Amino acid sequence: MDDFISKSVEQTEEFAEEFSKNLNGNEIIAMYGELGAGKTAFARGLAKGFGVEDNVSSPTFAIVNEYNGVYPLYHFDMYRIESWNDLDSIGFFDYIDNGVIIIEWSENIEGALPENVIKVNISKTDNENERIFKIEGI
Ligand SMILES: Nc1ncnc2c1ncn2[C@@H]1O[C@H](COP(=O)(O)OP(=O)(O)O)[C@@H](O)[C@H]1O
Ligand SMILES: [Mg+2]
């Protein structure tokens, strides 16, 4: 997929909403990018694409938020996950193949991700409202 340059949070959400139309209902989407990159904004747009009307925010404390849209959507935040044991104890592996999984701070669980994940790399630029999206695996 071509790189996408977003010039605003709204453009990021619209891009994710469009992107959601490529999904079949059992993908894992691993997002990478620093704090404020736009991971939650991307997840929000994707949820909107699934017809979810709930408010979507980072599940930092809950670890996982579940949304019911055209497909079940599981939104994880791995910020506080440090080991395979942590990942197992939150039941991560039971979610696989039961809906779409979208992950913030995938850096923390890199070794536990299956090979067929879709990777969404988000980087900031010198421009305050600009973000570059690089998507692999779709
Ligand atoms: N093009 C853009 N895309 C996404 N967010 C942007 C963009 N430009 C500025 N922002 C701002 O960057 C922040 C992104 O926040 P968030 O999505 O919560 O990031 P993360 O989950 O990666 O920490 C928001 O404050 C948003 O308004
Ligand atoms: Mg976030």
pTM: 0.97
Determine if ligand 1 sits within 6 Å of the CB of residue 45. Answer: no
CA of 35 to the centre of ligand 2 (A): 7
**In the numeric block, which tokens belong to residue 53?**
């009307």
Domain count, the chain: 1
> What SS3 state is found at 4?
strand
Specify the CATH number for the domain of residue 20.
3.40.50.300
Determine if ligand 1 sits within 6 Å of the CB of residue 131. Answer: yes
In this prediction, residues 4-15 reach a mean pLDDT of 98
Residues 6 or more apart whose CB falls under 8 angstroms from that of 118 comprise 27, 28, 29, 30, 135, 136, 137, 138
How far, in Å, CA of 81 to CA of 89, rounded?
Answer: 10
From residue 107, alpha-carbon distances to 7, 65, 77, 78, 121 in Å are 25, 19, 11, 8, 11
In this prediction, residues 6-31 reach a mean pLDDT of 98
Q: Name the residue range of residue 125's domain.
A: 4-136
- Which of 9, 32, 39 has the most ligand 1 atoms within 8 A of CB, as the residue to mutate? 9
Write out pLDDT tens, residues 58-112. Answer: 988 889 999 999 999 999 999 999 988 999 999 999 999 999 999 999 999 999 9
Ligand closest to CA 37? 1
